[in-house]
Amino acid sequence: MNDDLRDALRAAVPGPDKARKRAFLRSLPPAPVSHGRFLLSQAAYVRPVTWMVSLAVLVLALAAGRLAPGDAVWVTAALTPFAALAAVTEGARSTLYGMEELELASRFSLRSVVLARMGAVGLAHLALVCVLAALGGGSFFRAGVYFLTPYLLTDLLGLAAVRRVRGREGLYLCGGAAVLTAGLALALHGVRGVYDPAGFRWWLLALALVLVLTGQEYLKTIRKTEELS
């Protein structure tokens, strides 16, 4: 009886004239859509792999902190490049899978897609670095710098690579950059005094340089999403 009555009420009156309804709806300005909702929906399209890699970095770094506290700092510095690799790969998917043209012509264009995805992953990674720095045991700020610098270095090399080299090759280059940066962290750990407070100002210098260059790479990447290339 319940649904019968509802169906009867609906069936008792006909629907609107389809042609006039369509003409009316098309005459309206596009319905306002919240950008926030779009960002969230794009974040949902970030591949599980990306989150898993980030989680793996977290877990491994924490494990190093437990099992080999003396080496935890350089191990973490060698791990964060792989989180950066995941981030850059995520941002490059539109180009890699040939979705650019379709996304560029959509209401929320390619630029929003890339910004949303990289933004979501970037925020998560920022949180990741903060967590690792907080649990590092030493100074939060110094640890943060030690972990962020290799991350951003990989980021900037990776973005430059995928921007210049199309397709899978660009991503392989990006992978190479991650491995190189990790290797650098590995090689450096043997050098005396690298992680000592005395040498910290070199790290700050490096971070400042890398920040500026990474910022530039992001700007170039975003600008590239304005049209098909």
Partner 1 sequence: MELTIDRLSKQFGPKIAVDRVSLRLAPGVTGLLGPNGAGKTTLMRLVCGILKPTAGMVSFDGQDVGSEEYRAGLGYLPQDFGYYPDFTGRDFLLYMAAMKGLDKAAARRKSDELLAVVGLSDVQKKKVKTYSGGMRQRLGIAQALLNDPKLLVLDEPTAGLDPKERVRFRDLIATLGRDSVVLLSTHIVSDVEHIAGRVLIMKDGQIVHDGAWDKHEDLEKFYLAQFGEEADHA
Partner 2 sequence: MDIDEQYDRIYRYCLHKLGSPAQAEDVTQETFLRWLSAAGYREEGRALGYLYTVARNLCADQYRRQKAEPLPEDLAAPDGEPGVLDRLALAQALAALTDQERDLVLMRYMNEAPVGAVAAALGISRFAVYRRTAAALDKLRTLLREDGP
Size of the site for partner 2 (CB under 8 A): 24
Nearer to partner 1 among residue 105 and residue 123 (C-beta): 105
Task: Tell me if 8 contacts partner 2 by CB under 8 A.
Answer: yes
Task: Tell me if 19 contacts partner 2 by CB under 8 A.
Answer: no
Q: Which stretch binds partner 2 (CB under 8 A): 7-15, 94-102, 129-137, 152-160?
A: 7-15
Q: How far is the CB of 160 from partner 1 (least distance, A)?
A: 23
Task: Tell me if 1 contacts partner 1 by CB under 8 A.
Answer: no
Annotate the chain with three-state secondary structure: CHHHHHHHHHHHCCCCCHHHHHHHHHHCCCCCCCHHHHHHHHHHCCCHHHHHHHHHHHHHHHHHHHHCHHHHHHHHHHHHHHHHHHHHHHHCHHHHCCCHHHHHCCCCCHHHHHHHHHHHHHHHHHHHHHHHHHHCCCCHHHHHHHHHHHHHHHHHHHHHHHHHCCHHHHHHHHHHHHHHHHHHHHHHHCCCCCCCHHHHHHHHHHHHHHHHHHHHHHHHHHHHCCCCC
Q: Residue type for 154, please?
A: T
Task: Tell me if 52 contacts partner 1 by CB under 8 A.
Answer: no
Q: Which stretch binds partner 2 (CB under 8 A): 20-28, 108-116, 123-131, 193-201?
A: 20-28
Task: Tell me if 15 contacts partner 1 by CB under 8 A.
Answer: no
Contact with partner 1 (CB under 8 A) among 21, 23, 52, 202: 23
Task: Tell me if 10 contacts partner 2 by CB under 8 A.
Answer: yes
Task: Tell me if 12 contacts partner 2 by CB under 8 A.
Answer: yes
Query: Site map for partner 1, 79-118, x if CB under 8 A?
Result: --------------x---xxx-xxxxxxxxx---x-----
The token pair that represents 211 in the structure block:
């920040």
Binding-site ranges for partner 1 (CB under 8 A): 22-23, 25-26, 29-31, 33, 37-38, 41-42, 45, 93, 97-99, 101-109, 113, 226-228
